[in-house]
Structure 1
Amino acid sequence: MKLYYSPGACSQAPHIALRETGIDFTWEKVDLRAKLTENGQDFRQVNPKGYVPALEVAPGVVMTELAVLLQYLADLAPARKLAPPPDSPERYVLQTWLVFIATEIHKGFSPLFKPQVGEDAKDVFRQILATRLDYVQSELSQREYLMPSGFSVADIYLFVTTGWAPRVNVDLSRWPAIVAFRERIAQRPAVQAALRAEGLLN
């Protein structure tokens, strides 16, 4: 199994999940601007969409969409309990969180990284994102993790996306439950190992 990633990008989520599961894998960095892998391969031959993550699960078989990837990895290691069993009521709760993070948090941050988006427009996007983080704050004020059953791949995804806040002038201190959540997740050995492998932690 091989993960194509860019340091600090959303590909960090499956990177962490792979380390949480204990699955053997290799990883290769991608230059997203040049669309080249670290070994000089045209990344679009790996993923025609041109973005990370891309996970080669078998020769010539590549998976790309993050919410699907995280569930796939969790299901490969059910003993780690990173996702409720398929078809259980709790699994749909997990899927609700994954879709919410993908469409409201992840994509909420996206315009803030674009230099062609003006600062006035970015302020509007920050306000919209803040309402989504208000909701997450209300949920994490009641428990340590997004799922009542405990730590899951949804927490990994939320940790990665909220980690972008300082880079785009979003002050998380107004959401103390999210700050506390991030501090808890950051202490996990798999998280620290992934950050270190990506050159983001000494």
Structure 2
Amino acid sequence: MKLYYAPQACSLASHIVLRELQLPFEAIRVDNRSKRTADGRDFLAINPKGYVAALQLDDGQVLTEGPAILQYLADLKPGSGLAAANGSWERVRLQETLNFITSEVHGIMGWLFNPGFDDGVKEVFKQKLFKRLALLEQTLEHQDYLQGAQFGIADAYLFTVLRWTALFAIDLANWPALSRFQARVEQRPAVRDALALELA
């Protein structure tokens, strides 16, 4: 498999999960501005959407959209515990959590990256984000990970998007459980290895 990624992007979640599962893969860096891969290929020919993550399977098929990639990877090793079994109530709850992160955290934070918005507009989005972070704080006050006691794919995704708070001077210390969550996840060997490659 080939994972197309960009540093500081949401593709980090897929990178972490690949390493958690110890699956063989090649990490290929993409320049988000030029839409070229590190080896000079046109990324738009691989993923016409033009953004990471993209996972190219050994048969040539390309899967895009982080939550879909995360679930696909977890299902390759169903005994890993990174995702509940397909069709189970726990899996539906996991999909609910992934959708919340996608639309209510990742989606809102995406607006903060927009250079066309002035600080007043960005402050409106920050206030919306703070309400979503408060909900996540309530969950993580009582358990180590989003689905309970065990690390899973939703945690890799949340960890990834919460890293962006530092780019916008949002202090996670205002949400102590989220701050502890970030520190806990960052200590995982798969996370450290993924970050080491992406930040090199």
Q: Which amino acid aligns with 2:9?
A: A
- Structure 2 residue aligned with 1:14: 14
CA distance in 2, matches of 1:165, 1:55: 26
- Structure 2 residue aligned with 1:101: 101
- Structure 2 residue aligned with 1:190: 190
- Dislocated runs of 4+, deviation >4 Å: none
After superposition, where does 1:77-116 map in structure 2 within 5 Å? 77-116=77-116
Shift of 1:41: 0.6
Q: Which amino acid aligns with 1:151?
A: F
CA distance in 1, matches of 2:154, 2:172: 19
CA distance in 2, matches of 1:160, 1:126: 18
Deviations 1:43-87, CA, capped at 9 Å, x for gaps: 000000000000001343000011111000001111211001111
- Structure 2 residue aligned with 1:147: 147
Backbone CA RMSD of aligned residues: 0.9
Stretches of structure 2 lacking an aligned partner (at least 5 in a row)? none
Paired residue secondary structure (1:163) = helix
- Structure 2 residue aligned with 1:41: 41
CA distance in 2, matches of 1:60, 1:83: 25
Deviations 1:113-171, CA, capped at 9 Å, x for gaps: 11111110000000000000000001100111100252110000000000000101212
Give the stretch that moved more between structures: 102-111 or 57-66.
57-66
C-alpha contact (below 8 Å) 2:35/2:44 kept by paired residues? yes
Q: Which amino acid aligns with 2:184?
A: R
- Structure 1 residue aligned with 2:135: 135
Q: Which amino acid aligns with 2:83?
A: A
- Structure 2 residue aligned with 1:69: 69
Deviations 1:98-121, CA, capped at 9 Å, x for gaps: 000000010111011111111100
CA distance in 2, matches of 1:76, 1:20: 12
CA distance in 1, matches of 2:181, 2:124: 26
- Structure 1 residue aligned with 2:120: 120
CA distance in 1, matches of 2:59, 2:90: 33
CA distance in 1, matches of 2:37, 2:116: 26
C-alpha contact (below 8 Å) 2:55/2:63 kept by paired residues? yes
Q: Which amino acid aligns with 1:101?
A: I
Q: Which amino acid aligns with 1:141?
A: E
CA distance in 2, matches of 1:58, 1:65: 18
Paired residue secondary structure (1:63) = strand
Paired residue secondary structure (2:57) = strand
After superposition, where does 1:159-198 map in structure 2 within 5 Å? 159-198=159-198
Q: Which amino acid aligns with 1:10?
A: C
**TM-score normalised by the chain length of structure 1:** 0.97
- Structure 1 residue aligned with 2:27: 27
- Identity over aligned pairs, percent: 46
Q: Are the structure 2 counterparts of residues 149 and 143 from structure 1 closer, same or farther at C-alpha, using a change threshold of 3 Å?
A: closer
Q: Which amino acid aligns with 2:26?
A: T
Stretches of structure 1 lacking an aligned partner (at least 5 in a row)? none
Q: Which amino acid aligns with 1:102?
A: T
C-alpha contact (below 8 Å) 2:5/2:30 kept by paired residues? yes
